[in-house]
Each structure stands twice: as C-alpha cells, then as structure tokens.
Amino acid sequence: MVDLSEVSPATVQDWIRTLPDAEANELAGAIPAQRVHGSCRDDLRWVEVARMGYERRRLPTFLVMLFSSLEALESRGCPETAGAWESVADWLGEVYDQLQRANDEEALSDISLFVFENYLDRDALFEAFCGMVVRHEQLALLVSSNPSLLLPDLPLEKQRLVLEECAANGGRPLSESWSALHGRV
C-alpha cells in the first residue's frame, strides 16, 4: 500500500485521472483522513484531493473520504474548518445540480446515502440542502414523502423549515410530511 502523504499532488491527480475504477477506489480509500499525527494543512489537502477525485470519477469512496477529511478538520479544531464546510457545501450544491441535469440517479443516491443521511446537522450543508430542495422538485418530493430518512435527527425548527420548503417546491403538503415524521400535525 502506498502512503499518499508521501506522493506529490501532481502524481495523485494523474492517478485519479488514469486508474481504472477498482484502483481509483483503492486510491480513495488510501486517503489518510483522521490520522493522529496529521495536521490541519494535511486534512485540507485531503479534502481537496477527495473533492477532485469525486468530480472526475463520481466514485462514492471519494465522497466518504471527503467528509471523513472534513471531520478530521473538526476533530483537530482547525481554524479552517468552517470555511472548508462552507466551500464543500457550495460545491455539493453545484454537483447535485449537475447530476440532476444529467439524470444520474446512481450518483444522486450516493450523495443521499453518504452525505445527506450523515451530515445535515452541519449548518453549511443544511443550508445547501435547503437550496437543493428549492431547486429540485424531485428532491422535495422524495424528502417530504419519507422525511424520517433524512430529517429525524435535526432540531424541530430545521425539520419544519425543510418540510415547508419541500411543500412550497413540489413536495407533499407540510401537514402530511410533518405527520409522517412525527405521527401528528
């Protein structure tokens, strides 16, 4: 196994671009996120590598490593953490829009599974998610039809905000989605 921290960024980029999917998945899995002796600078590097890997390859392993690297920034208390989350949230909104236009259901499902189900409690990602619900009727309908999939761990006010946005943008009525989430109106 190669220690990616010892490989030049240009070489890593070349590998991302040229390796077959199986090897690119292994490469993504080798991103040294949450290393005990890593630094904030290292974690920022891995955020960028994972983001670039996902942009080029659409392999979910890169998504997993991207968010693992963001968590590493958080756990170290890095001053760059909030900016990194904000940047990734903005980027994810753009990626989601592109995938929606391309009708790439598999990649959209990966984002839901590996990102929305785990990180909506982060403010920047929550805000980006609300924007996606506003822009994409299909997402508004999906979220409002089964709100217990993505929303149960959010505070009530955030749950209500998402479900109101869903109802206003092609999703189920607020009373129905709220009842589905909480069993009452």
What confidence tens digit (pLDDT) does each residue in 63-82 have?
A: 999 999 999 999 999 999 99
DSSP state of 36: T
Report the percentage of the chain scoring pLDDT > 70: 96
| pLDDT classification of 55: cutoffs 50, 70, 90 | very high
Across residues 172-176, what is the average pLDDT?
97
Structure tokens at 97: 């829009």
Task: Please say if the pLDDT value at position 172 is more than 80.
Answer: yes
The beta-strand segments (E) located in 43-123 are: none
pLDDT at res. 142: 96
Dump pLDDT digits (tens) for 106-137: 999 999 999 999 999 999 999 999 999 999 99
Task: Please say if the pLDDT value at position 32 is more than 80.
Answer: no
| pLDDT classification of 28: cutoffs 50, 70, 90 | confident
Which pTM does this prediction carry?
0.89
Residue of 26 and 149 predicted with greater confidence: 149
Task: Quote the CA–CA distance of 178 and 185 in Å, as a whole number.
Answer: 6
Across residues 4-12, what is the average pLDDT?
79
Cα–Cα distance list, 27 to 36, 51, 64, 105 (Å)? 20, 13, 12, 24
| pLDDT classification of 1: cutoffs 50, 70, 90 | low
What ranges do the domains of the chain cover?
4-115, 136-185
Task: Please say if the pLDDT value at position 185 is more than 60.
Answer: no
Instruction: Say whether 79 sits in a helix, a strand or coil.
Output: coil
Average pLDDT in the chain: 92
